[in-house]
Amino acid sequence: MSQSLSNLLYHVVFSTKNRINLIQPEFENELYPYICGIVRGQKGEVLEIGGTMNHVHLIALFHPSVSMSDMMRYIKGGSSKWIHEKGASMFQWQRGYGVFSVSESLAEQVDRYIKNQKSHHEKYSYEKEFLLLLEKHKVKYDDKYIWD
């Protein structure tokens, strides 16, 4: 084969430090496009982004030349710096993140799930949601280190 081809689709979830409600509704209208721009700058594409006041979900295609840890460093570091420049000097993201592979056949379902985050969280806390995602995707974790 003369070329390398891929379709690396991910569902990424990360929260504010200690899951504090720091993402005000009027602020997310600028934050989400900013995060999308960071991903585009790394040859990726955000298909959908959403969340609540304490966490963000995105479904995105990432270029294979950019490692997941690098992409998350770009997203969280770049957006945090931007938020600080906007005057929210106390803002921090959590240290870690959750990332789950998504098959193309389920992309639309994940897309809808992200679009409906606000109504979803009328029933479930972020903590409950995240633990359910870990279970669903069979991710092993240590209770001691799941939250910071």
Domains parsed from the chain with CATH numbers: 9-145 (3.30.70.1290)
- Prediction pTM value: 0.92
What angle do helix axes 25-41 and 68-85 make, rounded to 10 degrees? 140
**Long-range CB pairs of 60-64, under 8 A, 24+ apart, other chains included:** 60/9, 60/10, 60/12, 61/7, 61/8, 61/9, 61/10, 62/8, 62/10, 63/8, 64/4, 64/6, 64/8
Beta bridge partners of 99: 12
Asked if residue 87 has pLDDT above 90, the reply is: no
The per-residue pLDDT for range 14-71, each reduced to its tens digit, is 999 999 999 988 789 999 999 999 999 999 999 999 999 999 999 999 999 999 999 9
Label the pairing between strands 98-101 and 9-15: antiparallel
